[in-house]
Every structure is written in C-alpha cells, then in structure tokens.
Amino acid sequence: MAEIILHQYDTSPFSEKVRLCLGIKGLAWRAVDQPVVMPKPDLVPLTGGYRRIPVLQIGADVYCDSALIVREIDRRFAGPPLYPKGCEGFTGTVEFWADKGLFQAAVIAIFGALGDAVDPAFIKDREALSGQPFNVAAMKAMVPHALSQIHAHAALLARQLDDDRPFLAGEVPSLADAAAFYNFWFIRSFSPGVADSFPALPQIDAWYDRVSAIGHGQRSAMSRDEALEVARTCEPEALGVVEGDRGLVGIPVTLSATDYGRDPIAGVFAGSTAYSMTVLRDDPQLGRIAVHVPRLGYALNAG
C-alpha cells in the first residue's frame, strides 16, 4: 500500500488535528513540510491550485481539507476508529463546531493578543487567502469578546466530561477529541497569556493531557521532490460515483471552497461519495492526479 504523505507545517492547527488522528490510529506516515505562506510551488502542482494546509497524498490521489483527510484515513486504514460506532454523528458534529465556531474565536484571541508582532508577510498572505482584511487592530479590540466565547466553548466541553469519561465520546479517543484539542493546543502554543486567562476547569486540563499523550503516530520526513516523484510514478485509484452525480462524469468542472481559499480546482468530474467530490487532472509534470474535496463546504461549477 502507498505511504501516507501529509503536506503540512508544524504550527498549522488543522495539521495538528490530522496528526492526532494518525496517532489515534497508530499509523506510520511521512511529513512533507510546506511553506506557511505562498508561493507553494511544490504543492499546487498536486492540488491544481488549492493552497490550504494540510493536504493528504496517497500515491496520485490528493485529498484537500482536514475534514476529508481524516475521513479518508479512517476509511483506508485499520486501527481504532476515528468515528466510533454509535457516535458517528456526534463526532462529525463536534468536528464541525470546532472547525468553525471555536477556531474562529481562537484566531481572534491569538492574533489580537499578538498585535503588532504578527509578521506583515503573514497578514498579506492571509488577506489573499480570505479575500478580506486581516485586521489585527480590530482583532485586538475583539479579544475580550473572543475570550468570553472560548470560555463558553470550554464550558460545553467540560460538561461533556462531567461524568468522568476520559474522552468526549466515551472510553476511547476519537476525531471529536482531535478536533476540540487542536484549538486549545493552538492557543497554548502561540498565546500562553490567553491560555492563562482561562477559568479553572479541571476536566479540560485532565482531558487535554490525555489527548496530548496520544502522540502523532510514527512520523518520518519526506522531501517535496520525493512526494512529487511518488505522484509521478503512481496512478489514481479507481473511483465510484453516487447515483445523483452520474450525469456529471466526464464533464469539465471546477471545485472550490465556499468559505476562504476559494482558488478553483479545474478538472474532469470523475467520482463522488456522500462526503466527497473528485476531479481528474493531467499535470504536465506529474501526469494524472485525482484531487478530492469534501462535499460539505465546497461548490461544484460545470464548464
């Protein structure tokens, strides 16, 4: 079986979610470090223009967005399930909440607290990514509100742990833990002063330590050139398609995120599941690449 290749950088919060999921499943994987800001000349040939991190590569199959990445890891590989039986809906809902509500509050709190220390190159890059001003001064003014929101989110987690369960879904760790954890990891790692303002929640502290102890599986480095060579020497796996999408197969389409980082991925529609959509691309250097995106939060445009 082809290796798990994760295009990431160590300070990426969404990469931390995926790294923890790899740890939960006890998997070996290769880390390809990509730049924090554009340009990313060794990533976009794989993705067709998609620039967000992380990206999962397995052979010539490329998976965009952490939400689809963790689902694909769980589908392909044995080990403890990321979506425990009977908790699939709960786990997915916690992930959606953590990626949207909690993460947005964390971003404001962290960068508002950093203030003028935020690298101007990072600001410029994130403005290009979002299509909106990355207004650190406005974030600074919003820090008190963001903190109150984070405290409220933390109280929800603490309530879930009130019955002394070790993890959010019960006795075993799941995607729910990885998704909630990375936000608190992000805050603790890059804004300790914000973390120090949290009210005392012993359940959260003990849970955080348990999740942190899971680790990231067996990580080893891979160069960007090596990852590109893997794609060049592999073929995408066979694809299925859900009934409602059969009429799209073979049609040129673009896929793009609907929130931020909307760079379109152009290709021929080739497959889908209830959770994903796939295009095939022919890259002049790499050959045929299948690029997969989540169905939720992504738009498909024909032509």
- What structural domains does the chain harbor? 5-80+220-302 (3.40.30.110), 88-212 (1.20.1050.10)
Biggest distance spanned by C-alpha atoms of the chain: 56
Q: Could you identify the residue written with the tokens 């502290």?
A: 205
Q: How many CB atoms lie within 10 A of CB 249?
A: 13
Hey, what are 118's tokens?
């935020």
Report the pLDDT value the prediction gives residue 1, as an integer from 0 to 100.
66
Is 2 a residue whose pLDDT tops 90? no
Q: Could you identify the residue written with the tokens 């699939």?
A: 88
CA distances from 236 to 4, 64, 286 (A): 14, 15, 12
Report the pLDDT value the prediction gives residue 104, as an integer from 0 to 100.
96
pLDDT digit string, tens, across residues 212-267: 999 999 999 999 999 999 999 999 999 999 999 999 999 999 999 999 999 999 99
d(CA 161, CA 120): 40
Residues 6+ apart with CB under 8 A from 282: 288, 289
Q: Considering the chain, what is the average pLDDT of its residues?
A: 96
Q: What is the DSSP string of 52-112?
A: -S-EEEETTEEEESHHHHHHHHHHH--SS-SS-TT-HHHHHHHHHHIIIIIHHHHHHHHHH
pTM above 0.85, yes or no: yes
Instruction: Tell me which amino acid residue 65 is.
Output: D
d(CA 57, CA 77): 14
Nearest Cα neighbor of 263 from 12, 52, 6 is 52
φ/ψ bin of 9: left (φ > 0), alpha (ψ from -120 to 50), beta (otherwise): beta
Residues 6+ apart with CB under 8 A from 174: 24, 81, 82, 83, 84, 87, 91, 167, 168
Contact 60, 45 (CB under 8 A): no
pLDDT digit string, tens, across residues 114-173: 999 999 999 999 999 999 999 999 999 999 999 999 999 999 999 999 999 999 999 999
